[in-house]
Structure 1
């Protein structure tokens, strides 16, 4: 018998409606766009093009991660991400390539403003599913806004340049959707209850990343909503 994790989901009815909308958007818009971006993934050159887009979008996210690490009082990952950005922007042709990771041993140190809020002691809040953006918590939803506000590129670049950066980062997310298409489809389209499954996967991984606990369970096992403990149930 699997362990369960505690879920704060007082807005489940509304979240399920948003989830149904997101599934439709993924099926009819995001999945076809990501497939077209990868050219169907039939040739190495097409797969390579997707990797270039993903690399460039990931590189453009690094300045914001540097700021977040500093706000968290963690200078070491901030320094690593700063040098990774510098190396990949120059030697990596604007971030299309990843010499920082392959040649200099500087992997990306992932973080975001949601983690910054967690470090500052902000509670997780209720589980939410946001239109298009997908699963979040109250804290992480606020963190998505914070990431836009603190990203240096959006403040330093001309508005047209900032818009191009945003567009490339969106294309990078579409590339990641293409890369992990089978896994995403297995959760969204093939699960008996894709809402409960996605909620479980998100909370488990997010709490693990933030060292906030959560049971170690198989995220791809078929899990019904009743298998998850809801502390707000009477």
Structure 2
């Protein structure tokens, strides 16, 4: 039929490809317990005095036991790329304060919360192939099958992902997974601290993940520029909008905001590593 939507055939191909990969990624492991469901760790707001002293505070997400000790000290970080990182931080700081934060604040004020939630759902659904492929690479068959089911359900019943009936009706919660999670699972360290333009604090492992996420994102193949650039820019804006005001609040806490944000990021890395160690210990203790 010539009257079909232009996205229909590409999305059908994605669903078909995902289904084939799922068959080989261990869907038979659905009965195995899965605890490491994609979690997002946000650096806690550490008092400036503690940040200056290099103290990392670990704040467990809701529903996850605290890792002991909850306060961990570390020596001064050797920042081999500090010159480049400071230049990128200055660029980002100007972009955030004079462009992104005003745009994000306007977006929050003008667009009602239910609409923003639907937009967020849409982009999460669009990025499900990223989560699925990394679930498969991590041999997490149950999570891969869950994300495959979510993609099919939300792309159809959820009106192209604007709603999340997979979670609301079927109890299939989102299981985020990116390539840095895959690298971490197989023992890759985070490398050096790195500040990326617009994306901010990162590291070598996370930066590699950003590249792979680009090539696994369906938008890369479903659209041409400038539409592709516009969609990805809007995705970044809506994702950033929830943290826009928090940036200025944190920035004012230190005379050297570069060190502040660097230490907060390193703090989150240590927290991730501590949770990973606890999970590995729990697995090794199982009979």
SS in 2 for 1:136: strand
Alignment partner of 2:248 out of 185, 196, 209? 185
Q: Higher mean Cα deviation, 81-90 or 6-15?
A: 6-15
Structure-2 residue corresponding to 1:59: 125
**Which aligned pairs between 1:28-47 and structure 2 lie closer than 5 A?**
28-38=98-108, 40=109, 46-47=112-113
C-alpha spacing 1:93/1:5, structure 2 compared with 1 (3 Å): farther
2:207 maps to 1:138: no
Q: Higher mean Cα deviation, 142-151 or 63-72?
A: 142-151
Structure-2 residue corresponding to 1:232: none
Runs (4+) off by over 6 Å: none
**Which aligned pairs between 1:119-134 and structure 2 lie closer than 5 A?**
119-134=185-200
2:159 maps to 1:96: no
2:181 maps to 1:118: no
Residue 109 of structure 1 deviates from its aligned partner by: 0.9
Structure-1 residue corresponding to 2:233: 170
Structure 1 residue runs without a partner (length 5+)? 214-234
The 1-side partners of 2:245 and 2:223 are apart by: 36
2:201 maps to 1:201: no
Q: Higher mean Cα deviation, 136-145 or 172-181?
A: 172-181
Deviation readout 1:123-167 (Å, 9 max, x if unpaired): 21100001112111111111111222234x257x4443x975664
Structure-1 residue corresponding to 2:115: 49
CA RMSD for the aligned pairs? 2.6
The 1-side partners of 2:254 and 2:116 are apart by: 27
2:177 maps to 1:107: no
Count residues in correspondence: 206
The 2-side partners of 1:150 and 1:172 are apart by: 15
Max Rg structure:
2
2:85 maps to 1:27: no
2:138 maps to 1:72: yes
**Which aligned pairs between 1:1-20 and structure 2 lie closer than 5 A?**
2=55, 3-5=72-74, 7-20=77-90
Residue 72 of structure 1 deviates from its aligned partner by: 1.4
Residue 27 of structure 1 deviates from its aligned partner by: 0.9
Structure-1 residue corresponding to 2:28: none
Deviation readout 1:102-134 (Å, 9 max, x if unpaired): 222122112111111222332211000011121
Preserved CA contact (<8 Å) 1:53 1:96: yes
C-alpha spacing 1:10/1:19, structure 2 compared with 1 (3 Å): same
Preserved CA contact (<8 Å) 1:8 1:127: no
